[in-house]
Structure 1
Amino acid sequence: MALIIAGERSGVGKTTVTLALLSFLCRQQQRVQSFKVGPDYIDPMFHQRVTERPGRNLDPVLTSERYVQECFNQHLRGVDYALVEGVMGLFDGASGQGDWASTAHLARLLQLPVLLVIDCSRLSRSVAAIAHGYRSFDPRIKLAGVVLNRVGSDRHLELLKNALEPLQLPILGVLRRQDKITIPARHLGLVPTAEINQLDTLIDRLAQLGKDCFNWEILEQHLKVGKLKAESSASQLQPSKPETPIRVAIARDRAFSFYYQDNLDILQQLGAQLVPWSPLTDAALPTGVQGLYFGGGFPEVFAQQLAANTSAREAVRRAILTGIPAYAECGGLMYLSEQIRDFEEHSWSMVGVLPTTTLMGKRLTLGYRQATTMQDSPLLPVAAKVWGHEFHRSEQTAIAEKPLFEIRGYDGGKVAMEGWKMYRLHASYVHLHWGESPEIPARFLTLCRQFGS
């Protein structure tokens, strides 16, 4: 039916293994659906680039167990193979104590076998202890086999195989140390696909890796989607669409690319016409739009180019000041501030709607957040509680006189007062997934419809 790619910890090569398998299958003209455990934006970009199908996030914190199951089943329909890329180590959950929202949690929830990737670069016989520990730690988890990554030599491989032989655990892949397959990274993880030169060459190499380095006789049995499962039904949002689409300008370019595909789907199902535009290169907003949507991304990397596009910045500023409903999260919030001061401490002028400057720094703010609204916003009524996620290396020089959110961590401890509600703008560092809460985008689109009437 499908297989989950897990790691014994972060950085062991889950993404490389995932992309190698996806690339090989897609080179065989197969229809492949990929999923990603957790709130990641960039891994699904790579999945989509390979499969030409949107990668789907499976996150029970941001949505629910029910939604994860329905999303998974819904997107199995009409495909030949399915694969889920895990997050962190197999048993690493949201709290750091239990395994809620971990790869293991999703494996149990979806009843999927696990392919465990082990970094073998600094071990030999100890590989057996690692594999045995992961197989026995939770008897409810079924290990389909292991992938031995970063194997140094034939002798190294022989030692690893000899150590694993008593466990009778299938070795389904062996990857040697690679110097020609490197996915570039920066301060928030991998570099997005749109910024990588010669990406097709990289994908070709991954496909060859997928062909040469895996046991497809066994893997295919796990990855192939059965006919009955592929045709299973899942509940879907079936709203009544307005006769006239609601035009929403969505910032989509190299600076703004962090969007959950489910969020975009829900907006369209609710009657939105998403009109992409680029704050980097377009001189003005698209004509006739009734709302603005700024996702996250890397505005700090492109701050000079964003600053140079003065006509776009002024167009956004005028639109927000005149009351157009607008939603901005993380990178979008940064773009709407007065300035971005980058890692080299150069300052670049931004839209200037928010009376604050964004400062880039070394401190990483990361984690699930429970956010409670302190006032009405275009997305949420006062006192609403939502789960979101933060992931950034910046901070604001000022907070609103009346902040939008009271933010608490996953453990319930207070983190900060954060976010802005000005005019008809909702701006925050918190990323939201609307899969379990379609009333949030519905509220936003209601305001957009009123603005355009």
Structure 2
Amino acid sequence: MGGLIIAGERSGAGKTTVTLALLAALGRRSQRVQSFKVGPDYIDPMFHRYVTRRPAYNLDPVLTSEAYIPKSYAYYSRDAEYALVEGVMGLFDGASGAHDFASTAHIARLLDLPILLVIDCSRLSRSAAAIVHGYRTFDPRLQFAGVVLNRVGSDRHLDLLKAALTPLNLPILGVLRRQESITIPDRHLGLVPTAELPELRQITDQLADLGEQCFDWQQLEPLLKLEHPPHTPIEPPYASSLLSPSTHPPIYPSTHPPIHQPRIAIAHDSAFSFYYPDNLEILAALGAELVYWSPLKDKSLPENIQGLYFGGGFPEVFAEALSANKTVLQQVKQAVQANIPTYAECGGLMYLCQSIADFAGNVWPMVGVLPTAIEMGQRLTLGYRQVEALQASSLLPKNIQAQGHEFHRSRQTTLTAVPLYRLCPYDGSRSPTEEGWHIHRVHASYVHMHWGGSFAIAHEFVKQCQSRMIEELPGSKGTQGLEQHSDP
């Protein structure tokens, strides 16, 4: 199909800057630029989406599968003119130190795409050639389109780099000088999300200028351009799961929704922004109507809902404002206690707890349906997890296994006596832990799931919401619960 992968020789080499500069420059040429991100990250894809005005999709074979990756790339690029994939960490750094599974190199092999290697040249001259030579020859299955020299200090510095690289016969397709005029602020979990950056439009314009000036577009554009086979229908990467004969009740594509189409309220604002777009599309394909709302700003829950979905994000940053919205806190609590099916990940779990103590030690009351409190700290819990369900919840049968991901600096003051999950680190670096809650019809955990690889959760969630809808029909039991809530 075409497309290009942006890889770095290490984390911090400048992949994101190069990627955003290319996307912004391409955006001035076409409205149909599709981007992807290797790995489980949520924040980099937000910047992709801001620049391209299209959702950016994660390519993660740990959270999904190797088979899911090319299907995802083909489907989401099906109407695009250009495609670009941003890598993760160094080119060969995978989910564990023992192999390169889930690395940028692994994705390049799965998609059979050429690699544009970004080199941080700030402390290098002739040694850059040794680095490029090593990366180029380490895995002969990979194809390299060229290199980008980042953080070049002067014309003399550039001359030395070019002279060193000339014998390798690998094109230099971009040169970015050292500069501090384009800066995206960060904090405890990485870059500050797009919704909190009022200056982002100006930064995007600067990136577009940088992209137009600093790259060899005569060579780059043919690599980025897609060629689509004519009259070839492409199914979503999750199509086989949707059509599986083992799913009960039958699953319908969103164009032909079932009679009972449940409304699921999706918390989506600056406090709750960590959602894989695949997850939301899968819910819609399963027949759900997605209703977006803001626990920060809205004065009440959406009306007539049969499900609640709280994704991850930064409730600790917005804890004061979340706590001040007392009407919504009470309505969420009433909805949960009325057995509305509720799915909460990480930040969503934090919101459902008794309180959040922020980094300054201020304690802010939250929804209060989970009998624990949250404290922020400096220790980062990060990594893939092998998840085993220790009990049957409203969304998972007991003993089922799945892959997930943790990424947080908070902890619970009290753990449940009957944990939802046993979590084993992907690389086996430490002993298993147990966590997660199942209260009422709440399924809450620190673990983030990609439903392309955990389809059973999405299917059961919609099924539970459909059951709730049927319960609310006149003459059915369970019709009480939400009538007391005010309209949004």
TM-score past 0.5 threshold: yes
CA distance in 1, matches of 2:297, 2:106: 43
More strand by share: 1
Using the TM superposition, give the Cα deviation of residue 243 of structure 1 relative to its aligned residue in structure 2, in angstroms.
2.2
Residue equivalent to 1:381: 397
For 1:313-332, what aligned pairs fall within 5 Å after superposition?
313-332=329-348
Aligned residue among 265, 270, 274 for 1:249: 265
Deviating 4+ runs (over 2 angstroms): 229-239, 411-415, 436-439
Using the TM superposition, give the Cα deviation of residue 283 of structure 1 relative to its aligned residue in structure 2, in angstroms.
1.7
Report the 3-state secondary structure (helix = DSSP H, G, I; strand = E; otherwise coil) of the residue aligned with 1:354: coil
Matched, 1:431 2:448: yes
Residue equivalent to 2:47: 46
CA distance in 2, matches of 1:232, 1:136: 37
Residue equivalent to 2:143: 142
Letter in 2 for 1:110: L
Residue equivalent to 2:412: 396
Using the TM superposition, give the Cα deviation of residue 200 of structure 1 relative to its aligned residue in structure 2, in angstroms.
0.9
Residue equivalent to 1:337: 353
For 1:213-292, what aligned pairs fall within 5 Å after superposition?
213-228=214-229, 231=232, 233-234=234-235, 236=239, 237=242, 239-240=251-252, 241-292=257-308
CA distance in 2, matches of 1:154, 1:27: 29
For 1:2-151, what aligned pairs fall within 5 Å after superposition?
2-151=3-152
Letter in 1 for 2:287: G
Which TM-score applies when normalising by structure 2? 0.91
After superposition, give the CA deviation of every residue in 1:386-412 in whole Å (9 maximum; x if it has no partner): 100000001101111100001101034
After superposition, give the CA deviation of every residue in 1:32-78 in whole Å (9 maximum; x if it has no partner): 11010010111111111111111011100001011111111111211
After superposition, give the CA deviation of every residue in 1:118-161 in whole Å (9 maximum; x if it has no partner): 11111111111111110011111111110000111111111111
CA contact (8 A) 2:4 2:223 kept: yes
CA distance in 2, matches of 1:231, 1:201: 40
CA contact (8 A) 1:77 1:230 kept: no
Residue equivalent to 1:192: 193
Report the 3-state secondary structure (helix = DSSP H, G, I; strand = E; otherwise coil) of the residue aligned with 1:368: strand
Report the 3-state secondary structure (helix = DSSP H, G, I; strand = E; otherwise coil) of the residue aligned with 1:93: coil
CA contact (8 A) 1:74 1:232 kept: no
Using the TM superposition, give the Cα deviation of residue 450 of structure 1 relative to its aligned residue in structure 2, in angstroms.
1.5
Report the 3-state secondary structure (helix = DSSP H, G, I; strand = E; otherwise coil) of the residue aligned with 1:227: coil
Residue equivalent to 1:372: 388
Using the TM superposition, give the Cα deviation of residue 297 of structure 1 relative to its aligned residue in structure 2, in angstroms.
0.2
Change (3 A) 1:30 1:311: closer
Matched, 1:308 2:324: yes
Report the 3-state secondary structure (helix = DSSP H, G, I; strand = E; otherwise coil) of the residue aligned with 1:431: coil
Letter in 2 for 1:386: A
Aligned residue among 404, 424, 444 for 2:461: 444
Letter in 2 for 1:101: A
Which TM-score applies when normalising by structure 1? 0.98
Residue equivalent to 1:358: 374
CA distance in 2, matches of 1:195, 1:437: 31
CA distance in 2, matches of 1:275, 1:74: 25
Change (3 A) 1:420 1:229: farther
CA contact (8 A) 2:30 2:81 kept: no
Letter in 1 for 2:461: F
Report the 3-state secondary structure (helix = DSSP H, G, I; strand = E; otherwise coil) of the residue aligned with 2:259: coil
CA distance in 1, matches of 2:453, 2:370: 30
Letter in 2 for 1:79: A
Residue equivalent to 2:479: none
Residue equivalent to 1:181: 182
Identity of aligned residues (%): 62
CA distance in 2, matches of 1:450, 1:379: 13
Report the 3-state secondary structure (helix = DSSP H, G, I; strand = E; otherwise coil) of the residue aligned with 1:228: coil
